[in-house]
C-alpha cells in the first residue's frame, strides 16, 4: 500500500511539473525540465518496485497473497490486473502526463480494495 501511495504522490507531482513545463513552452533544459524528468524517473522506478513486489508475492509465498479462503485463480487474476494497471501508469508517465492524477489515484484505490478483499488492510481506508 505504501508503494501505491508513493506512486500516487509522484504521479500527481509529475502532472504538476508537466503542466509547468508546458506553460514554459516545453524547454529541454532548466529547473522545471529537470524536476519533470526526476518525477518521471521516480514514477517509473516506483512502478517497477510495485511489479517486483507483486511478482515476489506470487513466487515466494502465495499463501500470504491469497489468504485462507481466497481462491488462487482470482488472486492471480487480480495480480495480473494490477500489473497491467502499473504498465498503463508507466505508459502515461511518458505519453499522457495529464492523465496521471486520475490514473494513480484509481490504482491506489484498486490496491486498497484488493488488500481489503484478502483481509490485509483494515476497512477504514
Per-residue pLDDT of the chain (125 residues; tens, 9 = 90+): 899 999 999 999 999 999 999 999 988 889 999 999 999 999 999 999 999 988 887 665 555 555 545 566 777 788 888 999 999 999 999 999 999 999 999 999 988 887 777 665 555 54
> What pLDDT was estimated at residue 102?
94
Cell numbers describing residue 14: 509529475
Measure CA of the first residue to CA of the last residue in the chain; give whole Å. 11
Kindly tell me the sign of the dihedral angle through the C-alpha atoms of 8, 12, 17, 22. positive
> What pLDDT was estimated at residue 60?
58
> What pLDDT was estimated at residue 115?
77
Amino acid at each position: 500500500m505504501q508503494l501505491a501511495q508513493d506512486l500516487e504522490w509522484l504521479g500527481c507531482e509529475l502532472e504538476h511539473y508537466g503542466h509547468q513545463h508546458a506553460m514554459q513552452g516545453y524547454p529541454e533544459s532548466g529547473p522545471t525540465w529537470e524536476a519533470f524528468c526526476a518525477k518521471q524517473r521516480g514514477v517509473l522506478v516506483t512502478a517497477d518496485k510495485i511489479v517486483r513486489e507483486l511478482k515476489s508475492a506470487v513466487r515466494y509465498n502465495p499463501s500470504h497473497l491469497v489468504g485462507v479462503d481466497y481462491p488462487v485463480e482470482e488472486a492471480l487474476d487480480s495480480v495480473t490486473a494490477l500489473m497491467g494497471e502499473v504498465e498503463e501508469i508507466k505508459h502515461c508517465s511518458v505519453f499522457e502526463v495529464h492523465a496521471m492524477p486520475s490514473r494513480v489515484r484509481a490504482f491506489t484505490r484498486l490496491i486498497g480494495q484488493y488488500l481489503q478483499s484478502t483481509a490485509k488492510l483494515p476497512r477504514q481506508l
